[in-house]
Structure formats: C-alpha cells, structure tokens
Amino acid sequence: MAIRIIRKEGDPILRKVSRVVDKIDDRIITLLDDMKETMHDAEGAGLAAPQVGVLRRVIIIDVGEGLIELINPEIIFQEGSQCGEEGCLSIPGVTGEVIRPSVVKIKGLNREGKEIILEGEELLARAFCHEVDHLNGILFIDRAEGDKIKKNKIKEE
C-alpha cells in the first residue's frame, strides 16, 4: 500500500465526472488499499478516487463505524434534511454548513464485485452524499451558503 497525494481545490481533476468501473481488476484493488491508507494518514472520514487523481467511481468512508468501500455507488433513496458542518481533505482549513438528507440509501459494489446496499443516517448519510458529489465534480463549498463558509487556521503540513 502507498499513500497517494491528495489533490487540492483548484486542481481541475476535482471538477471532472468520474467514469464507471467496468472491471474490478488489480488496479482498482490497489486503488482501494491506497485510498484507505491515504485517508487514515490524513485523518479523514471519507475519500473519493478523484481526490487522489483517479477519475473512477470509487469511494471509501470511515465515520468511526468501520471502513466502507463502494465501487460505482448510487444513491437510491433519500429523505429528510439535516444541516451540519462539513469539511474536505481537498479543501484544508475550510468548513461550511451544508444541508443534506438525513437518511440515505446507497447501492454499489464491494471489492469482490458483489452488490451491496447500505443505509446511513446523520454523519454517514452526509458522508455518502459528500463522496458521491466528488464523483460528479461537485465540492461541498458549492452547496454551502456563502456566509457559512469558514476559513480556519490551516494545520502546518
């Protein structure tokens, strides 16, 4: 496994639409392993493949309930709404309040190619939406209200 470089806001790759994975080959498995290591190293709760420069529909999430890996994720159900603070490893030092559904069901493939359906509430529902947005070139700051975006002190890198 290897830690990959996290692309930062301003990098055009973050604004592109990622391609569907049609074959889960060794490159995709290595990508998943590297994304996991990269996310944990950066102490993030989620990471999407374009954030490490790969335009494939692959996301990982860990909100403290175990690692979730999803290939070709699709939100199949959502209801309610919640407003909460969000951040992103690609936009260090910035947080903003974003409205998201309170319950989200997502469908995708695991690394064995088996279809899985997961339901998330609160933080997990938010993470599903945030990471799927990345696959469509959308960042949370696009959804945060302007006066709700806060620039915090950036950690020394």
- Please tell me whether residue 60 binds Zn ion under the rule CB under 5 A: no
With contacts defined by CB under 5 A, name the span among 11-19, 56-64, 85-93, 142-150 that binds Zn ion. 85-93
Among 21, 88, 127, 144, binds Zn ion (CB under 5 A): 88
Single out the catalytic residue among 86, 121, 131, 156.
131
Contact status, residue 150 vs residue 96, Cβ threshold 8 Å: yes
With contacts defined by CB under 5 A, name the span among 31-39, 64-72, 83-91, 102-110 that binds Zn ion. 83-91
- Closer Cβ to Zn ion, 24 or 97, answer by number: 97
- Please state the closest distance from residue 89 (CB atom) to Zn ion, in A: 6
The answer to whether residue 131 is catalytic is: yes
Cα–Cα distance for residue pair 155/108, rounded to 1 Å? 34
**Residues facing residue 95 across a β-bridge:** 150
Dihedral over Cα of 6, 111, 130, 20: its sign: positive
With contacts defined by CB under 5 A, name the span among 4-12, 80-88, 96-104, 106-114 that binds Zn ion. 80-88
Spatial CA neighbour of 7 closest among 89, 80, 103, 119: 89
Cα–Cα distance for residue pair 123/104, rounded to 1 Å? 10
Contact status, residue 18 vs residue 72, Cβ threshold 8 Å: no
Binding site for Zn ion (CB under 5 A): 88
Query: Which residues are tagged catalytic?
Result: 131
